Copies of this chain bind each other. A is one copy, B any other.
């Protein structure tokens, strides 16, 4: 079996493993417009392979009605069931969707194993894209399900967490970066999304990056200092979002009389000094940075730093989806001079950069070209990866993006400062 086929089967199995322990009803939930039912993710990732790979190669669709039900936003692929109403689809049932998955997996594996398609480079490129696409949905399954479970008192998420030491935060140091004319973006034979290309040059003034992420107790200090009550710390849109939605803490935090507590996949626990804060919006990250007399890094600053020799090694210790905890890991104390840590894993890191096309970017031809380009408006870039991200997504050029008010992802804060000195 080809590596590609093995990777394909692995990602399919991986998605299904994520739903172990969920009931048919759990997989039906849509607790907010931005989050989709798990069943829908299971079906949509299959639809992607069927629509773009199997059907064009002559394989009949499993059920023609699925084309509209499980199309997300590909206008070129025909009509779509409204996003807001995905939770209305009790039919097909979860068992039918699992059967749909099975048939699509088999069909695509068949194509990959078929000599007739050995030279079909399109096939290989599309399966590679489909694998990456399904990995993105693996992360969404985790973040959406956390939201669905957070909304209901009897969900497993609300069990009390095991007692834990509160930890100690490593000293935060700023690592200086020289800047200058640097190259960012993807180049080469490995897979990357279209929005990571073309590789191009960017001029950076000298800057410095914090060597680790902001922790829960550091963020709590911001809260205790009135961070949510001082409009001058906030962007104007951020302040308006805070007021409209009554934000007083990150998402999935709650005050229980004794103090704040944090909802993790292991239950509720107190904020820790050695765990990165997550579930903050860009607006909150930006306000925190201003309060801390710092700023968010730009995406090119982040990428240039992460690609430096040596920057990467310690970073690989961050938590990933495969680690199973689904929450940023406690930070280990490290000696000064260890360089940048937590660049990958643990938390997506909000940058100060808008999600816009790179110079020379062209939307790929065909319907699959709707993948990334049309969302290049109104969103901010996040870098790194999180405890809900498949490890295979770790690379400097990866560009994640969400609107500045989004909080249900595992999104946290790395600080930066002007000038290349600590």
Q: What is the distance, in angstroms, from A195's C-beta to the closest C-beta of chain B?
A: 14
Question: Which listed residue, B153, B181, B356, B360, touches A181 by the CB 8 Å rule?
Answer: B181
Are B152's CB and A89's CB within 8 A? yes
Q: A73-105 toward B: CB 8 Å interface, digit per residue (1/0)?
A: 101100000000101111111100000000000
A347-368 near B? 1/0 per residue, CB < 8 Å: 0000011101101100000000
Is the Cβ of B91 less than 8 Å from the Cβ of A370? no
**Nearest opposing residue in chain B for A198, CB measure:** B205
Q: For residue A236, which residues in chain B have a CB less than 8 angstroms away from its CB?
A: 73, 374-375, 377
Q: Which of A20-28, A247-255, A268-276, A330-338 contacts B (4 or more CB under 8 A)?
A: A20-28
Residues of B with C-beta under 8 A to A24: 23-25
Among A153, A205, A370, A374, chain B packs the most CB atoms within 10 A around the CB of A374
Query: Restricting to A226-260, which residues have a CB under 8 Å from any CB of B?
Result: 231-232, 234-239
Question: How far is it, in angstroms, between the C-alpha of A39 and the C-alpha of B26 when the chains are bound?
Answer: 13
A374 touches B65 (CB 8 A): no
B23 and A232 within 8 A (CB): no
| C-alpha spacing A370/B231, complex, angstroms | 10
Contact B25 A93 (CB under 8 A): yes
With the chains together, A29 CA to B93 CA distance in Å? 12
The verdict on A356 contacting B356 (CB below 8 Å), with A28-B25, A91-B152 known, is: no
CB of A354 within 8 A of CB of B356, answer: yes
Choose among A31, A91, A148, A235 the residue with the greatest number of B CB atoms under 10 Å from its CB: A91
**In contact, B374 and A235 (Cβ under 8 angstroms):** yes
Question: CA of A25 to CA of B378 in the docked complex: distance in angstroms?
Answer: 35
A354 to B378, CA, bound (A): 9
> A295 to chain B: closest CB distance in Å?
8
A6 an interface residue at 8 Å Cβ cutoff?
A: no
Say yes or no for A421: interface residue by CB 8 A criterion: no
Interface assignment of A69: CB less than 8 Å from any CB of chain B: yes
Q: Is the CB of A23 within 8 A of B404?
A: no
Check A151 for interface membership: any CB of B closer than 8 A: yes
List B contacts of A201 (CB < 8 A).
203, 205
- Tell me which residues across on chain B come within 8 A of A295, comparing CB atoms: 357
A88 near B374 (CB under 8 angstroms)? no
- Is A377 a contact partner of B65 (Cβ separation < 8 A)? no
A201 to B391, CA, bound (A): 36
Q: How far is the CA of A155 from the CA of B93 in the complex (A)?
A: 10
Does B378 lie within 8 Å of A91, measured CB to CB? no
**Can you name the residue of chain B whose Cβ is closest to the Cβ of A286?**
B377
The residue from B25, B203, B237 contacting A203, defined by CB atoms under 8 A apart: B203
Q: Which residues of B contact A354 (CB under 8 A)?
A: 354, 356
Q: Does A200 contact B (CB under 8 A)?
A: yes
| Residues in B whose Cβ lies below 8 Å from that of A202 | 203
Q: Determine whether A154 belongs to the interface, using a CB cutoff of 8 Å to chain B.
A: yes
Cα–Cα, bound, A260→B146 (Å): 44
The complex places the Cα of A2 from the Cα of B235 at a distance, in Å, of: 38
CA distance A91 to B89 in the complex (A): 18
For A92, list chain B residues within 8 Å (CB): 154
Alpha-carbon distance A203/B377, docked complex (angstroms): 22
CB distance from A80 to the nearest CB of B (A): 11
Contacts of A151 in B (CB 8 A): 85, 88
Report A392 CB to chain B, min CB distance, Å: 26
| A residues at B contact (CB < 8 Å) | 23-29, 31, 39, 65, 68-69, 73, 75-76, 85, 87-94, 148, 151-155, 181, 200-205, 207, 231-232, 234-239, 283, 286, 295, 352-354, 356-357, 359-360, 370, 374-378, 404, 418
Task: Across the A-B interface, give the 4 residue pairs with the lowest CB-CB distance, nearest first.
Answer: A354-B354, A25-B90, A91-B154, A203-B203
**Apart from A24-B25, A234-B374, A235-B374, what 9 extra A-B contacts exist at CB < 8 Å?**
A29-B87, A29-B88, A75-B231, A87-B87, A88-B148, A90-B148, A200-B205, A201-B203, A235-B376
10 inter-chain pairs at a CB distance below 8 angstroms, sorted by A residue, are A23-B24, A65-B153, A65-B154, A69-B154, A75-B231, A91-B155, A181-B203, A201-B203, A207-B359, A377-B404
